[in-house]
Amino acid sequence: MANQGAKRVPVAVFISGTGTNMAALLYASRQHSSAFEIVLVASNKSDAKGLELAALEGIETFAHSHKGHSREEQDAAMEQAAREAGAEAIILAGYMRILSDGFVERWQGRILNIHPSLLPKYKGLDTHQRAIEAGDGHGGASVHVVTPELDAGEVIAQVKVAIAPDDTPDTLAMRVRIAEHQLFPRAVNDYLSRGNDPDFLLEKVRNLALALAETHERESHGSPGFRVGGDKSGKFFAYFADRHHGSDHIALLVRTSGMDELLNLVENQPDIYFKPAFYGASGWVGIILNRSGLDWGHVEEWLTRSWRSVAPKRLTKLLDAADMF
Ligand code: GAR
Alpha-carbon distances of 108 from 147, 153, 293, rounded to whole Å? 7, 11, 11
pLDDT of residue 1: 45
* pLDDT lower than 50: segments of the chain: 1-2
Domains 9-195 and 198-323 are alike in CATH topology:
no
pLDDT at 3: 52
pLDDT score of 51: 97
pLDDT of residue 2: 46
Fold of 198-323: Aspartate Aminotransferase, domain 1 (3.90.1150)
**Could you tell me the end-to-end alpha-carbon distance of the chain, in angstroms, rounded to an integer?**
50
Residue type, 308: R
User: Of the CATH numbers 3.80.10.10, 3.10.129.10, 3.40.50.170, 3.40.1050.10, which one belongs to the domain with range 9-195?
Assistant: 3.40.50.170
Gap from CA of 19 to ligand 1 centroid (Å)? 8
**Is the C-beta atom of 18 inside 6 A of ligand 1?**
yes
In contact, 139 and 127? CB cutoff 8 Å = yes
The pLDDT value recorded for residue 320 is 78
Q: Which atom of ligand 1 is closest in space to residue 124's alpha carbon? A: 14
Atom of ligand 1 nearest to the CA of 173: 2
Note the pLDDT tens digit of each residue in 160-200: 999 999 999 999 999 999 999 999 999 999 999 998 899 99
Read off the pLDDT of residues 81-94 as tens digits, 9 standing for 90 and up. 999 999 999 999 99
Q: Which among 95, 127, 177 is the best mutation to test ligand 1's pocket, defined by most ligand atoms within 8 Å of the CB?
A: 177
Is 187 touching ligand 1 by the criterion CB < 6 Å?
A: no
Residue ranges of domains in the chain: 9-195, 198-323
Q: Which atom of ligand 1 lies at the shortest distance from residue 116's CA?
A: 4
Alpha helix positions (H), 194-295? 198-210, 259-268
pTM more than 0.85 = no
Helix 296-310 × helix 198-210 angle, to 10°:
50
